[in-house]
Amino acid sequence: MKVTLTVIKADIGAIGGHICPSQRLLEAVDNYVTEHGAKLVVDSYLSYTGDDIAIVATHTRGANDQAVHRLCWDAFIAGTEVAKSQGLYGAGQDLLKDSFSGNVRGMGPAVAELEFEERPNEPFLFFAADKTDPGAYNFPLYMAFADPMNTPGLMLSPSMAQGFRFVIMDVSDTEGDRVIELQAPEDLYSIATLLRDPERYVVESVWSRSTDEQAAAVSTSRLHNIAGKYTGKDDPVMLVRVQKDFPATGEVLAPYAIGPFVAGAMRGSHQMPLMPVPLNSGISYFDGPPVVSCAAFAMHKGKMTEPVDAFAHPFWDTVRDNVSKKAIDMRRQGFFGAAMLPMSELEYTGIVEKLETLDRRFAVRATSRPSDALRRAGS
Ligand code: 13P
Ligand code: 13P
Ligand code: MG
Ligand code: MG
């Protein structure tokens, strides 16, 4: 059976600033999908990560399906009404357009979709991250799909040993989806050269070279240009199929133990370590740290099992402690250097405006340094 996995997420309002959605908001979105999606989707699952709500839907209608996208859009509209009625902060934040037009790509919500012939057993992982951007997945995807130090399957499994194809987008291009396809392991250094810069070059998908099946889909988009202006960090979702011709679940999860520094946290303008958290976790310290959750599923004929919370296991408590330490260490240096993002990535205009004002006050000295002038006069 050919199945499509669609995940669409949006921030449509939160309690206490950007912490997490309200129960009533979640119920409104869930009820809408259940009531209106019965004939459209085989199964669905709703969760939140920080202030973002994600709808995971399984169906047989293919990627970019107008009806499925509209269902999620309308569910978020219904949720936004509740958010407004409760006075939630940022009600409808990610719904950037007034009316739905075909599919939600480019309209604000994040989208990741996989279409495949279902295997007799079909394990997959659904990741959602808040207070960061799609480039946050560059590092864990490189480790899981290209690095035998992390993924022994690349040596042990003959099918995985044929490598994986990375589709990487240059998100700075304003005209269209500018992508490149690179093959691991032959193009490893080229892949590394691009993924080094996660604000510009972002993994969009990963494909098995032995079967040509898609392994991973990330909600990568030309994030700077949705709605014609910079719209923030675009908290990303991701789907990853696991086992057999794909990395094992443990190989996909392992890189998150490192807690890499990613863009995001406070005002979307800092570098902070990524913390793996249980499903339905909110946000706290410094509007962060950036968080990532993972729900593991098995699926049969499009019907999902209950989610298993991949980062709830006690192992991740130590990781969370380490990430907290890294976060506090980084915050000690406030706005200096690496703690804050470069100018092009700042989500607010304040610094740019201030620099423009200051720039007018800079002057090039008419003479050389005073000390030089004195020295010349004295000698
Ligand atoms: P399978 O034997 O089910 O492929 O599992 C192997 C594995 O995932 C070990 O990490
Ligand atoms: P979100 O993008 O998750 O809404 O966070 C906004 C922010 O800037 C928090 O400081
Ligand atoms: Mg928000
Ligand atoms: Mg968010």
Token pair of 205, please? 């998908």
Query: Is 285 in the active site?
Result: no
Q: Which residues pair with 170 in a beta bridge?
A: 201
**182 in ligand 1 pocket by Cβ < 6 Å?**
no
pLDDT tops 60 at residue 224: no
Residue 378: DSSP 8-state: H
Q: What is the pTM of this model?
A: 0.94
Ligand 2 pocket, residues with Cβ under 6 angstroms = 11, 18, 50-51, 90, 93, 130-131, 232-233, 235, 266-268, 287
Token pair of 75, please? 């569910």
**254 in ligand 1 pocket by Cβ < 6 Å?**
no
The per-residue pLDDT for 244 is: 97
- Report the residue count for the chain: 379
Distance CA 41, CA 301 (A): 12
145: Cβ–Cβ under 8 A, 6 or more apart, which residues?
A: 151, 164, 166, 184, 206, 215, 216, 247
Degrees (nearest 5) of the Cα angle 107, 112, 113?
120
pLDDT band with cut points at 50, 70 and 90 for residue 371: low
What is the biggest distance separating any 2 CA atoms in the chain, rounded to whole angstroms? 93
How far does residue 350's CA lie from ligand 1's centre (Å)?
51
Q: Which of 9, 11, 43, 245 is flagged as catalytic? A: 11
Q: Which of 233, 234, 245, 309 is flagged as catalytic? A: 233
61 contacts 67 by C-beta, under 8 angstroms: yes
Q: What value does the mean pLDDT take over residues 203-227? A: 88
**Any idea which of 61-65, 147-151, 202-206, 374-378 has the lowest mean pLDDT?**
374-378
Token pair of 152, please? 């022994």
